[in-house]
Amino acid sequence: MTVGASVIGSDTIRFERTYAASIEDVWALWTTREGLQEWYAPEGMRLEVLVLEPWSGGAFDHVLTAEGAEQVAYLANLSRPASAWVSGRFLEVVRHRRLHIRFDIDFVPGVDSYPYDMLVELHVEAGRVRMVLTADRHPDPEMNRGAVIGFTSQLQQFELALTTRSPKE
């Protein structure tokens, strides 16, 4: 894996990674229940995918639950529950190339719900897959900090999930 820049811009957070993996394996980790459950939960968390309709206009629902002591304590310190029901829609799906996902952020106590967009762009280059993930910044600085920590952990889990699927060269 090649780690590209992780950039926090004024409106977005951007991560870039390159994997020695097939586009089919990378796509499956994003678009199947089994794939998402392998990696999408950051360290110390568990993901349960309840609904996953990976097509333009399709819905998703999942529950993210803190299980690690550090994660439970972090959320408790912020007066947030250990589990969050997360839902949203796939705004655009272009097989093996692009996912535009909108989350409904409606699970933060004391904060009005708001849309949160994430764009995943996949590029096949010389037998490798370059993945660019761009996500909105949250209105709250602590949520942004948590998002960067979470995405970093998730992308480490993503790489581990790929190594179990893809043969080594």
Q: Which CATH class is domain 12-165?
A: alpha beta
CB 77 within 8 A of CB 61: no
Helix (H) / strand (E) element for 146: namely: helix 141-165
Residue 162 confidence (pLDDT): 95
CB 88 within 8 A of CB 103: yes
- Domain spans, the chain: 12-165
Which amino acid is located at 14 in the chain?
R
pTM of the entire structure?
0.84
pLDDT tens digits, residue range 104-160? 988 777 778 899 999 999 999 999 999 999 999 888 888 888 888 889 989 999 999
CA gyration radius for the chain? 16
The residue with greater pLDDT, 78 or 23, is 23
pLDDT tens digits, residue range 114-125? 999 999 999 999
Contacts of 12 (CB under 8 A, 6+ apart): 134, 135, 136, 137
Residue 35 pLDDT level (bands cut at 50, 70, 90): very high
- What is the rounded average pLDDT for all residues in the chain? 89
